[in-house]
Structures are given as C-alpha cells and as structure tokens.
Amino acid sequence: CFRWEEEKKEDGVKWMQLEHRGPYFVPLYEPLPEDVQFYYDGKPMKLSLATEEIATFYAKMLDHEYTTKEIFQNNFFHDWRKEMTSEEQEIIQDLDKCDFREIHKYFVDKNEARKALSKEEKQKLKEEADKIQEEYGYCVLDGHREKIGNFKTEPPGLFRGRGEHPKMGMLKKRIMPEDVIINCSRDSKIPEPPEGHKWKEVRFDNTVTWLASWTENIQNTLKYIMLNPSSKLKGEKDWEKYEVARRLKDVVHTIRAQYRKDWESKEIKKRQRAVALYFIDKLALRAGNEKEEGETADTVGCCSLRVEHIQLHPRLDGQEHVVEFDFLGKDSIRYYNRVSVEKPVFKNLKLFMKNKDPTDDLFDQLTTTFLNKHLQHLMDGLTAKVFRTYNASITLQEQLKALTNPEDNVAGKLLSYNRANRAVAILCNHQRSIPKTFARSMQVLQEKIDAKKKQVEEAQEEVKKAEDEFNETKDAKAEANVEKKKKLLKRLEEQLAKLNVQATDKEENKQIALGTSKLNYLDPRISVAWCKKFGIPIERIYNKTQREKFAWAIDMAGEDFEF
C-alpha cells in the first residue's frame, strides 16, 4: 500500500505519536597540546580555555579568503575580546600582532593524518558514526521508524554568511541543552538531556513537524531539527507542492490576461503589482521580502528592486524595449539579464522610475504580502514561489520533448536530459563558481579523447588491411576477420562518441548548478516518466539520496505522466 496515502488526519494535526532521543550535541572542546602555541607580538602566550577555543576557529580559516576581509577580521576580534579574561584583554589589543600560524599548521597536519589512516581505522571511525546515527538519527512517528534530517547541533565557530554579509566573522556560540526546546508526544519516552543539564522546555505540539528547536545567536533566527526528506511527512509535503503548481497550469492563462489588463489600470499600485507579476512569471524571479537593514547582506528580489537595479534601452542589439537587470539575489548571487519586454511594461517602468533617486524602490507601492494576498485570491494556495516551481517544471517537460531523440543511445539521451535541466537552471539563475579542479579534469578527459582517436585511426587501418586481404584471397577466414575488425572499430567509435558527449556536457555545465532545481523546483515525476519511457535507469538521473527523497514519485509516475 502507498505510505503516502494513509488515513488523513484532521486539519492542522501533523502526527499522533512522536518519540525521539533529542539532538546529538557536538563533542566539547579539546585543548591544544602543550607544544602548539599562540604568539602575541612575537612572544608565546598561554590562553585561557574559552579564548583558546575561539582562537582555533580563526586559525583553521587562515588559508580561507574570509580571513583577509576587514569586516570578518573586525567582527571576529570584537567577539573574541568579549570572551577573554581581563588579563588577556589588557595584552591582546591588536589582531595584526596575533600569530595563529602554529595552530593552523597543527590542524592541517591533523587533517592530513586523518586522510592517511588505514582502511581498518577508517572503518572503525565509520562504525562509531553509524552507531550515533542509529541511536540519534531516527524517530518513531505514528508507528513508522523515520530518518531524521539533521540530528546534530551545529558546532560553534565563526559565522560566514553568503556574499558580503555584514555579520561575517561573528562568534557562533555552542548550543547547550538549556537552549533547546524538545517537541514530542505526551505518552512517549521523553528524551533525557545530557548529564548535569536540563532542556529549556518540553512541548507536545502536534501541529508542527519539528522535533527540537533553538535560537541561534547571530541572526536570532530559529533553527529546527526536522525529518529527513525521504520521510513520509516530507514526501507528502513535496507532492502537495507540485500538485499546487500543476493546478496553476489550468488558471495561468486567466492570470496572464488579468495582469496584462492591469498594466493599464487607473491605480498605480495595481500597475506595479501587474508588472512585478509579469517579471515573476516570465523571468522566474523570486518575490523578495522586506528585510532589516544592516542585519543581512544587501540582496533583493522582484518586489524589493531599486531604480539602480534596472536600465531601460528603447533599442539594444536589434531588439526593442530592452530591460537590463543587474542586482544581487538570494545568497548574493548576481542576476544579470537583458530582456525584451512588451511595450506597456516598458512604458510603466519609465513611469515608476520618474523623479526617483537610484536607491529608491522601483515598486514603491508594492509589498510581497500585498502581492501574495492577490495571488491567493486568484487561486487557492498560490504564492509568487509557485510560479518558479511551475515555470521550472513546465520548461523541463517541454525541453525534454524537444531535445530527446528516441534513436540516440543512453549517453546521447542523458546529454539531452542535462541540457533540459540546464535550461531550467539558467531560468532560475542557479550558478556556481567554476570548480577549482575543472581545468585539470577537463585536461584528463581531453587526453582520453586524444588516445581514443588514435585507437580509432589504428582500427580504421586494420579494417582496410583486412578488406584488402579478403579481396585477394576471397576465403571465409579472411571474411570473418573483416567482420571482427569492423566490430572493434564500431565499439571504439562508440566509446569516442561517448567521451565527446561527456566533454560537451562538462564544458556547458561548468558555471551552472543543476542540483538546486533538481531537488527543489522540478516535479520528479517528469524525470521518472522520461526514464521509464526511454528505458533509462533512474540511477543515471538521481543518486541514492535523491531516490530516497523522491520515492513517492518513483512509485507513482508511469511513462505517460504529464505535469
């Protein structure tokens, strides 16, 4: 029977029974050996335990770009000094006089030693980790043993943040049991806190799906321990997400007609909403929430765009009404795009920018809340995010139809799949920096290709020789030899073609991150149906973790599934 379709609970109730062991706390700090020293102004200095621990956080990051950034250095030094003893504060007044190199080397060596362990020793470490996973990594939810996603608390360290985050370098404090709220069912065996400690609170709230939560000290946000993506609860949620996006397919034409009409509205507020919605729909932009200034990196989404983020070109590169976007989106990823838009959109943007400073909001009368309220009114469960899911999934489906050639071999079909996935990643602006190892691995691949080309040329010579021999002798043995040599040539040519496909794929993919859309925006049933239709093993598309997460789709989708 389908795990996904068990008895429905009353609204808002997520479970009847929940039992778990609570979070696993990362081990306490181990002091440095006596011979590994911190130096201040050239002299060795023994640090108190708390101060030393924080020093190791910085030391470990010495070879990282972060520690060269002034804002990181200042935040770190400020937070570090707060934790020092008054004697240490007297002495340590200048980060430039601090020498962490010996500590850094100690951790580098320790890392190398761990890599160099024998197979048996590594196996022993793995068994210890597995034991912890067995004990803390599962819970019982309504009679099912379910895997927990992140059962360990985050270790203390220095906050990194993405992009130019104003809080980078601040001290991320150790999470103690006293910080943690436990959530479980009343009748379950309530988890025991570590010895000598107590929980902040124990709750029995079955309208939420988290097992434990605490507030982290840097952004004051809540962190949760949740179930693993492969669990029934998460599977259902994922399925619902794509079902909402599929419902959008039936009304999207009406919605598009509506926002086109609103471009001419008498109310400027409605016009702004209609243009923003056009961008969200056409360009799959994120909605962009209001944010506290100075708390986070300066990133924006559609509703929070400023005048400085766009430029209008009546004509550009042979196209009319071009909008040039340039801004930092989520996680400080740059969004740069030039798009030819419809004339009324262009005229409206001109109007929205009139008499404004570069730092003024483009959509000054629009909030995400106002936009989403309107969307909810158009379709139950509709938010700006649903457009991203819908447009990503529909793009994948259309691209797969257009690009897949049923005559291709498996490698050729997989290249088409990756190209379809790339089209989505480009739409969603999922970039990555070129991997450090890219040039080297590309070179290795090119060497393989060159070697294979040589083999193909040699095999061609061999075929020609065999054919000449057969023409002279006309005997059966020589004929068989021709067939044998031709077979070999064909095999080598197929291998060469496969390597060439790999190289194309790698080159096209170097700056694009496919994983984000695959995990979060693409209805997995589209991929499962494609695999079933063309006889491609699912493991060529989804790795083990992804197959667990999408078990519901692998069960449900036949080859005729249409998003």
SS3 per residue for 309-347: HEEEEEEECCEEEEEEEEEECHHHCEEEEEEECCHHHHH
Please tell me which residue, 166 or 158, carries the higher pLDDT value.
158
Residues 411-429 as b/e (b if ≥16 CB within 10 A, e otherwise) read bebbbbbbbbbbbbbbbbb
Q: Which two tokens stand for residue 512?
A: 């694009």
pLDDT band at 210 (very low <50, low <70, confident <90, very high): very high
Task: Give the residue among 188, 114, 136 at the shortest CA–CA distance from 26.
Answer: 136
3-state secondary structure of 356: coil
Which residues fall within 8 angstroms of residue 513, CB to CB, at 6 or more apart? 425, 430, 431, 432
Q: What topology does CATH give the domain 234-385? A: Topoisomerase I; Chain A, domain 3 (3.90.15)
- Class of 38-120 in CATH: mainly alpha
pLDDT at position 173 is 95
pLDDT band at 1 (very low <50, low <70, confident <90, very high): very low
Task: Give the residue among 297, 527, 261, 294 at the shortest CA–CA distance from 393.
Answer: 527
Q: Quick check: 275 and 312 in contact, CB under 8 A?
A: no
pLDDT of 515 higher than 70: yes
Identify the weakest region by mean pLDDT among 131-145, 202-216, 461-475: 461-475
Q: What is the mean pLDDT of residues 488-503?
A: 90
Q: CA-to-CA distance for 486 and 480, rounded, in angstroms?
A: 10
pLDDT at position 125 is 93
Q: CA-to-CA distance for 113 and 94, rounded, in angstroms?
A: 33
Q: What is the CA radius of gyration of the chain?
A: 30
pLDDT at position 166 is 86
Domain boundaries, the chain: 18-24+122-231, 38-120, 234-385, 392-556
With the CA atoms of 216, 222, 225 and 230 taken in that order, what torsion angle do they form, in degrees rounded to the nearest 10?
-130
Give pLDDT tens digits for 383-400: 999 999 999 999 999 999
Q: Which residue has tokens 């370098």?
A: 169
| CA–centroid distance for 63 within its chain | 25
Give pLDDT tens digits for 132-164: 999 999 999 998 899 998 999 999 999 998 777
Q: What is the mean pLDDT of residues 230-240?
A: 86
pLDDT at position 38 is 95
pLDDT of 498 higher than 50: yes
Q: What is the mean pLDDT of residues 427-438?
A: 83
Q: CA-to-CA distance for 227 and 148, rounded, in angstroms?
A: 4
What does pTM read for this prediction? 0.78
Q: Which of 106, 242, 335, 521 is catalytic?
A: 521
Please tell me which residue, 223 or 435, carries the higher pLDDT value.
223
To the query of whether residue 58 is one of the catalytic residues in this protein, the response is no
pLDDT above 90 coverage of the chain, percent: 68
Task: Kindly report the three-state secondary structure assignment for every residue of 204-267.
Answer: CCCCCCCCEEEECCCCCCEEEECECCCCHHHHHHHHHHHHHHHHHHHHHHHHHHHHHHHCCCCC
Task: Give the residue among 430, 459, 259 at the shortest CA–CA distance from 342.
Answer: 259
Identify the weakest region by mean pLDDT among 9-13, 91-95, 509-513: 9-13
pLDDT band at 513 (very low <50, low <70, confident <90, very high): confident
Q: What is the mean pLDDT of residues 507-514?
A: 84
Of 1.10.132.10, 3.30.420.40, 1.10.3720.10, 1.10.10.10, the CATH number of 392-556 is 1.10.132.10
Q: What is the mean pLDDT of the chain?
A: 90
Give pLDDT tens digits for 265-322: 999 999 999 999 999 999 999 988 766 666 677 889 999 999 999 999 999 889 999 9
Write 91-94 long-range contacts (CB < 8 A, 24+): 91/40, 91/45, 92/40, 92/45
The DSSP H or E segment spanning 173 is none
pLDDT of 371 higher than 50: yes
Q: Which residue has tokens 């249409």?
A: 562
The verdict on domain 18-24+122-231 having CATH code 2.170.11.10 is yes
Give pLDDT tens digits for 531-557: 999 999 999 999 998 998 998 999 888
pLDDT at position 347 is 95
Q: What is the mean pLDDT of residues 468-490?
A: 87
Q: Quick check: 558 and 428 in contact, CB under 8 A?
A: no
DSSP summary character for residue 27: P
pLDDT at position 293 is 64
Q: CA-to-CA distance for 75 and 154, rounded, in angstroms?
A: 20
Identify the weakest region by mean pLDDT among 34-38, 47-51, 434-438: 434-438
